[in-house]
Amino acid sequence: MNALPPGLRRISGWTPPKRQTKIVTPEAVPFPPLTPDQTTAAKAIHACPSGFQTFLLHGITGSGKTEVYLNAIQRVVQQDMQVLVLTPEINLTPQLELRFRQRLPTVPLISLHSNLGEKERVARWLKAQRGEASVILGTRLAVFCPIPHLGLIVVDEEHDASYKQQEGLRYSARDLAVVRAQMLQIPIILGSATPAIESWWNARSGRYQLLKLSQRAQPGARLPLIHLVQPSHRPSPQTISKTVLQALQQRLDRSEQSLVFINRRGYAPTLLCSQCGWVCSCTRCSARMVVHLRAHQLRCHHCGDQCAIPLHCPECGNARLESIGDGTQKIETQLREQFPAARILRIDSDTLSRQDAWTETAAAIQTGQVDILVGTQVLVKGHDFPKITLVVALNVDGALFSNDFRGGERLFSQLIQVAGRAGRADRPGEVMIQTDFPQHPLFMALLQHDYEDFAQRELEQRRLAGFPPFVYQAILRASAEKASLVESFMVEALQLAKPIAKGIEIYDPVPAPMARLAGKTRLQLLAQCNNRSRLQTFLTAWQAQLFTIARSRVSWVLDVDPLEL
């Protein structure tokens, strides 16, 4: 194992054992009357002739997309057919399962996800295979579940990157679901408040049928007002602006809940010596170690390596090391100092490590035992907390200048989801976003909750730049402990590709965005074409040749339609 910098000592990690999930049968809840938008969408789905059809259900947050799903599911189940429902996150599964069991109490339902014990997962898999389960609710792996009488597929939050398997066998559960529906000649519903740009383009070009939900389903509920707040740049340890602090105090005075969103866990992303400039970096990755102050640890969020926080700089001996940047732990600390009487709860992957942690956390929020929530994206994906009236988003500007051309799309989607947590009941909601660039077009579209305007701008930029969905891409990714091995492999791979790359753009190998991960050097090579069939033909031939030069100490994979370049 690689040595750590002087002054740092390694701490071994511990993973709690998995426990089986206990299913509690809830009381039945009758179907509510559909809104006009929901009725129109439901009728369009029911009126579709038997056979394959992809529906893109574009509904603003809180518009009741789940009720449209349930309406369609009920009809399919009444025909003695089965339904597959995909959700991007394990934490969303209990909420959806509860809704489904309330609306369809007599319908056999199972959920499939990685938190289940092995025996329990196999038992549920077999129930689906034998046709004993009418509704199969699961995360991306459930797309492979054998379902003999499948009559409908639903993909909730279809834009979510979690549907793409990034390790081992690379696949997109959303795209596989569409292919599966086409093979079986059954309908599929893709739902989202911010559809993936590729899905939106498919709807605009006629490949998908677009259905819209433009109003919130809850009577009296309105979309929240969005304000852009410029943070103060005066020297101050406080990350949160005075305007935001005042808004938080107002909610506390009115006994309302607030959510503070910052998409970075830990206390701070960088430990710095202000005297000599030393920065604590991971010895195995091209990344900095993240400060976790309460555990008195430095952790790499990429390879999992961890060590104790040093008492002094290993380079110059300076004992005054500084934590630079903000994470959920630091924001939680600042809020506790500012509002000592408030009940503050931090929610990120560190606090949700226990299997039942999310169920307990959600119950505490729903019953009003929390005043201020501080969390990452795990908190904002599709959850319904009606008592939240203020949402604050911090540190969002970095994504505006991302090297990834999908950075803006991810940020817009993330902020729409964050904003959607506010004002979902009869109380008006408000959103405050701290940014140094309030005139940016992305924020202008966000102020109006105008996804269509943002998507149109994004499509035009991608058309000019030659990015998906106007081209199709594949990346050869390779890694090895020795840089020379992976370099020679990629040189040979490029030489094999050029003679058979007719009509294919082939780029030279370059370091991956994270050039070193878990002790391995990583390179990648991009191939793209404006014709999907031509690209697939090339990849089939190229892959066969790559196997002839494969080396035991070089790991490689062809990633089709990559989400990260």
pLDDT of 18 strictly over 60:
no
State how many domains the chain has: 4
* Helix/strand/coil for 44: helix
In percent, the amount of the chain with pLDDT more than 70 equals: 91
In a domain, 218, yes or no: no
- The answer on 340 and 295 residing in a single domain is no
Q: Are strands 135-138 and 225-229 parallel, antiparallel or unpaired?
A: unpaired
Using one digit for the tens of pLDDT, what is the confidence trace for 31-66?
888 999 999 999 999 988 778 999 999 999 888 999
pLDDT of 492 strictly over 80:
yes
Please report, for the domain that includes residue 129, its CATH number: 3.40.50.300
Report CA torsion sign: 22, 26, 31, 36. negative
Residues 559-563: contacts with CB under 8 Å, at least 24 apart? 559/170, 559/474, 559/475, 559/476, 559/477, 560/170, 560/473, 560/474, 561/172, 561/175, 561/468, 561/472, 561/473, 561/474, 562/473, 562/474, 562/475, 563/161, 563/164, 563/166, 563/406
* Residue pair 349/304 in contact by the 8 Å Cβ criterion: no
- The answer on 457 and 476 residing in a single domain is no
Q: At 541, phi and psi to the nearest 5?
A: -70, -40
- The answer on 297 and 180 residing in a single domain is no
Please report, for the domain that includes residue 548, its CATH number: 3.30.70.360
User: What mean pLDDT do residues 395-410 have?
Assistant: 88
pLDDT of 512 strictly over 50:
yes
What are the Cα distances from residue 451, in Å, to 47, 110, 424, 545? 27, 34, 19, 44
In a domain, 5, yes or no: no
DSSP structure string for 236-253 = -S--S-HHHHHHHHHHHH
Q: What is the pTM of this model?
A: 0.88
- The answer on 517 and 482 residing in a single domain is yes
Residue recorded with tokens 């990452």: 376
The confidence score (pLDDT) of residue 10 equals 40
CA distance 160 to 462: 20
In a domain, 479, yes or no: yes
Residue 350 token pair? 């560190």
Report CA torsion sign: 43, 44, 48, 54. negative
Residue recorded with tokens 């710095």: 272
- The answer on 332 and 319 residing in a single domain is no
- The answer on 130 and 91 residing in a single domain is yes
Partner residues linked to 474 by β-bridges:
527, 560
In a domain, 253, yes or no: yes
pLDDT of 132 strictly over 80:
yes
In a domain, 7, yes or no: no
Which residues lie closer than 8 Å to 249 by C-beta, 6 or more apart? 339
- The answer on 171 and 261 residing in a single domain is no
The confidence score (pLDDT) of residue 425 equals 62
Using one digit for the tens of pLDDT, what is the confidence trace for 254-273?
999 999 999 888 999 999 99
What are the Cα distances from residue 330, in Å, to 217, 262, 343, 396, 418? 36, 10, 16, 16, 20
- The answer on 239 and 176 residing in a single domain is no
39 DSSP 8-state letter: H
Which residues lie closer than 8 Å to 105 by C-beta, 6 or more apart? 25, 26, 28
- The answer on 437 and 381 residing in a single domain is yes
- The answer on 299 and 201 residing in a single domain is no
- The answer on 531 and 486 residing in a single domain is yes
In a domain, 174, yes or no: yes
Domain carrying residue 451: 225-267+326-461
